[in-house]
Chain A
Amino acid sequence: MLAENPTLCVFFETIGQVIQDAEFKRSTLRFLLILFVEVEPGNFLTGWSAHGLSRKYAMDYASALDALKLLIRKDWLRQLDNGTGVQRYRLSPYLCWRGRPWKARIAQKNWDAEAALARLSTSWDNEPQT
């Protein structure tokens, strides 16, 4: 049954944070639900753009772009740079997980490690290292 109907695990705690966030407008919430539908296993989002999604789901492009920027700013969505010029994104494994639920924990640890590495790389030339 599940093979026919793809599912997404949504975590209670973080969805509660999204509800409480005053910056989440109607369009942002809808865009997030659209991303839930579009997400691929491992929470990757490939082969899409805000423009493409806004046309597919009859959404205002400016709203879709604003929602995209907000999700990136809040770190619910990350843009991945693989050096090929192809835009790839990944949804936070803290928010949801497309795949086997028990693998989300490892993905969350990797998510944190990537953030720490990104912080380190930006501060490497600026702050004195100990």
Chain B
Amino acid sequence: MPKRVRVQPYVQIFLTALEQLVIIPDRLTRTELRLWLLLIAHCVWGGGIDLSQREMSDILGVTEAKVSLAMRTLLDERIVLRQRPERGRTWQYHLPTALVHHGPLAQLGWRQAQEAALLSPMPTSQPQNV
């Protein structure tokens, strides 16, 4: 017997931000829009993205190079953010809480404050090996 689910897993999108950051600029291509929706569909509790670019390319059916380029655009548009990893070389991507929120609303305030620090000039170089 299938497990009964009261509410299917969902993410909350802030509509004003969606309009201002995604719809009105109208700069995203189909692959970029698909990638952004994919990140929404796979965002974990707290807004992080637990998916490698190889997995993204497999799901979308495009090459890893295209995923990488599309991700670069999403980062430039600030509709996806990334953090330096604590260990290793893999960037940690997450969705901005001003736009998408997956988690308890009580955490929204401090998460947005944490992100404001991240939105300072973004590093363009690759993370250094520790």
Which positions in A face B, CB cutoff 8 Å?
Answer: 1-2, 5-13, 15-16, 18-20, 24-26, 29-30, 33-34, 36-37, 57-58, 97, 101-102, 104-105
Q: Return chain A residues, CB-CB under 8 Å to B26.
A: 30, 57-58
Shortest distance in angstroms between B74's beta carbon and chain A's nearest beta carbon? 14
Does the CB pair B7–A2 fall under 8 Å? no
Complex partner residue of A37 from B12, B19, B30, B101, CB under 8 angstroms: B19
Does the CB pair B59–A101 fall under 8 Å? no
Does the CB pair B10–A101 fall under 8 Å? yes
Tally of A-B residue pairs with Cβ under 8 A?
93
Please indicate which of the listed interface residues B17, B24, B37 has the most CB atoms of chain A within 10 Å of its own CB: B37
Main secondary structure of the interface of B (DSSP, over half): helix
Shortest distance in angstroms between A29's beta carbon and chain B's nearest beta carbon? 4
Q: Return chain B residues, CB-CB under 8 Å to A7.
A: 12-15, 101
Complex partner residue of B40 from A1, A15, A34, A105, CB under 8 angstroms: A15
Shortest distance in angstroms between A13's beta carbon and chain B's nearest beta carbon? 6
Shortest distance in angstroms between B23's beta carbon and chain A's nearest beta carbon? 6
Complex partner residue of A6 from B9, B15, B23, B59, CB under 8 angstroms: B15
A1-B108 CB under 8 A given contacts A8-B13, A15-B40, A104-B7: yes
Complex partner residue of A29 from B10, B16, B34, B108, CB under 8 angstroms: B34
Assembly CA distance A71 to B108 (angstroms)? 33
Assembly CA distance A101 to B30 (angstroms)? 29
